[in-house]
Amino acid sequence: MVAVMKEDLSALIEVRHLSKRFGNQVVFEELNLDVYEGEVLGIVGQSGGGKSVLLRCLNGLERVDGGEIRFFGDDVAKMSGRAMRHVEASSGILFQDGALFSALTVLQNIQVPMREHISLPNNIMDELAYLKLSLVGLPANAAHKYPSELSGGMRKRAGLARALALDPKILFLDEPTAGLDPIGASEFDKLIGDLQATLGLTVFMVTHDLDSIFAICDRVAVLADRHIVRTGSPFEMARDPQHPWIKAYFCGARARAVLHGDGTTIEDDAEIRPQHPI
Amino acid sequence: MAIVGENSDGHSQQRRRRRADKRGGIAAASNRPDLEWSRDGESIALRVFGDWQVRDVRRLAVTIRKLKFANRAGNGKSVFVDMAGLTALDTAGAMLLLDMKDHLSAQGYVVSLHKVREADEILFQLISRHPREKSEIVQKRSMVLSLIRDVGAVVVSLWRDVIEMTAMVGQVTVALLMLCIKPWRIRYTSLIHHLEHAGLKAVLIISLICFLIGAVIMQQSVEQLRAYSAEHFSIDMLGILALREVGVLLTSIMIAGRSGAAFTAEIGSMKMREEVDAMRALGIDPVETLIVPRVLAMLIALPLLTFIGDIMCLAGGAMIASQMLEIDLQSFMQRLNDGVEIRHFYVGLIKTPFVAVIIGIVGTLEGMRVRGSAESLGTHVRASVVKSIFLVIVLDAMFAIALTAIGI
């Protein structure tokens, strides 16, 4: 199935032979990964295994020690400043706690990328910001609040609105459901799924939340032993783990609870396709 | 959707394909978006083409505003919007098109969209479901009212400072008295730690600034008094000034900036992480464990540091004196002994416990006031330094007036 995708879908991001070290500690070695257009890719792996470091490397927030990262076919390391700005404007990131600028209101936060990358008339910028606010499910009266006045879930939504400000092609999410209660987490999963489907986003999601993996991920890449050991749909992983860590993760008690909450057995899954919430 | 059915990974492929045609690679040449209109009998044909995306929104907004017919009443005329030439659309572009449609409808035109691609239709529907106007009106206060309000807020916060500081002084006094009865409850480890950080480690910087200021005072007074051939009196002057005021003031201001800020930051970050609440929950008194050792360390360290500051001030003066007045250390000391009474030294030293309490209380109190966020920590560290330096100087002025009035 993966082979089929490679033939008829272009990879937005290609990572080849990536290596990264912190001092003597090797984080990645020979890491290869493709992110295809229009998919929701979940990155799973041990905590401290470098999932967030990978996300930071892809966004140029960490220097890599070897290998190359190609965005839209061009090597990031050899890009001109102008092309780099284009890449920046066409990718949005949601950090773990939203990373909203604390001195700005929610509305101003959403407008930061608009002011930075393009010039827009104020009335259109306001209209667009209110639209994004509504798209992520925040009430209009949240617009003039400061991040410290919002709850954790609302901060994440506001962070998502900021990430979506310029209609990015690709959206990076760092542990989007961490710290949310189960109801908030599943609402957030649904929000990401809905936005992904309607806006045609490509989503790169670092997570360890099994519920979100089965709810919205088309494909999962497993980061273990310093490289991507396997990619495939979460259901394939659960059926045929192949790797001890994947087995522990996708066939553990929690995964079984997510998969078989309705009393089905693992054999039944062969027939069940991932059901998207919408 | 037919293309999807045969695929084993159905729904995700479908989503991938849905808008694949709109999102060419980033390097792909973009099509310049534009808008054309022509009159077609009684109706108007409007053709939309190119990439309607956020980076061109400013120009497109101007283009839309310049549509001549759009500003005239429509009187039921039809407008056919032909979307066949649209090559890409994002939320900003879709929003602009919907705004245009709404505006035309409001003018009395009958607007219909034609040849809308399926993916764009989804986007239009998504956007028309969401409000994009400010639903609330932000209140604006008049200048005068907000000035009055700000002044009021400052007065209230000053009053609260006075009350809280008084309460804190009371709490610390009670805790100190308790510790006099039960001296084994003093947190010696903590006390020694703060003595080292607030006292010992400040010796070098205090010595250096006091030495330099002493030298500067000496140099300037010799320079000025030489005109009256009274340059030897500059030693008396330096002695009185250094011992009464300069030594203690420089030391206190330095310590207020250095240790006061550190106290606020330490306690504030504990407060942020709910450590102080955890202590209370475990039955540990934060006043006894956090505040008393710091105030006690100040009470011990500040007089000692002031003494060092006094000596270094005089040493700086002596160095300049040996150069400018050409007298040796022996005669400098003799002159100092004759001209400066010991009471000046006591006057300087008597202020130090009061200053120590101010720095300790203000620093720790501001730390205890820190709430959740990191900005709050920054605000309180700044407030701590400003308030303690201000109060130290006020206290010094009050002492100067009072002690001079009773002739000491």
Distance of CA A103 to the CA centre of its chain: 26
pLDDT for res B285: 87
Cβ contacts of A140 on chain B, cutoff 8 Å? 131, 134-136
**Cβ atoms of A121 and B58 closer than 8 Å:** yes
The pair of structure tokens assigned to B307 is: 């003494």
Selected residues 36-55 of chain B with any CB under 8 Å from a CB in chain A: 53-55
The model's confidence at residue B374, banded by pLDDT at 50, 70 and 90, is: confident
CATH 3.30.750.24 maps onto chain B at 2-128
Selection from B331, B327, B351, B329 nearest residue B339 by Cα:
B331
The model's confidence at residue B134, banded by pLDDT at 50, 70 and 90, is: low
Centre a 10 Å sphere on the Cβ of residue B329 and count the other Cβ atoms it contains.
12
A26 touches chain B (CB under 8 A): no
Nearest to B12 among A118, A164, A218 (CB): A218
Domain B2-128 has CATH 1.10.10.2520: no
pLDDT for res B28: 44
Q: Could you read off the pLDDT of B75-124 as tens digits, one per residue?
A: 788 888 888 888 888 888 888 888 888 888 888 888 888 888 888 888 88
Low-confidence ranges of chain A (pLDDT < 50): 1-7, 263-278
**Which residue of chain A is at minimal alpha-carbon distance from B118?**
A198
pTM exceeds 0.80: no
Q: Could you read off the pLDDT of B235-262 as tens digits, one per residue?
A: 999 999 999 999 999 999 999 999 999 9
**Which residue of chain B is at minimal alpha-carbon distance from A91?**
B26
Asked if A131 lies within 8 A of B99 by C-beta distance, the reply is no
The model's confidence at residue B234, banded by pLDDT at 50, 70 and 90, is: very high
pLDDT for res B135: 53
Q: ipTM exceeding 0.85?
A: no
Backbone phi, psi, residue A68, to 5° = -135, 155
Nearest to A72 among B25, B95, B119 (CB): B25
Provide the mean pLDDT of chain B: 86
Residue A24 C-alpha, separation from nearest chain B C-alpha, in angstroms: 32
pLDDT for res B2: 36
pLDDT for res A266: 47
Asked if A1 lies within 8 A of B10 by C-beta distance, the reply is no
pLDDT for res B136: 53
A277 touches chain B (CB under 8 A): no
Selected residues 179-238 of chain A with any CB under 8 Å from a CB in chain B: 196-200, 218-219, 233
Nearest to B26 among A90, A132, A199 (CB): A90
Asked if B131 lies within 8 A of A36 by C-beta distance, the reply is no
**Which residue of chain A is at minimal alpha-carbon distance from B22?**
A200
Nearest to B54 among A148, A167, A275 (CB): A167
pLDDT for res A82: 82
B128 touches chain A (CB under 8 A): no
**Cβ atoms of B341 and B408 closer than 8 Å:** no
Across the strands, what pairs with A18? A31
Angstrom distance (rounded) from CA B359 to CA B387: 9
Selected residues 157-186 of chain B with any CB under 8 Å from a CB in chain A: none
Across the strands, what pairs with A221? A43, A231
Q: Which residue has the higher pLDDT, B208 or A198?
A: B208
User: What is the rounded end-to-end Cα distance, in angstroms, of chain A?
Assistant: 23
- For the segment B256-278, the average pLDDT, to the nearest whole number, is 93
Nearest to A200 among B18, B53, B99 (CB): B18
A79 touches chain B (CB under 8 A): no
pLDDT for res B33: 85
Asked if B18 lies within 8 A of A38 by C-beta distance, the reply is yes
Task: Indicate the SS3 state at residue A253.
Answer: helix
Q: Which residue has the higher pLDDT, B66 or B259?
A: B259
B118 touches chain A (CB under 8 A): no
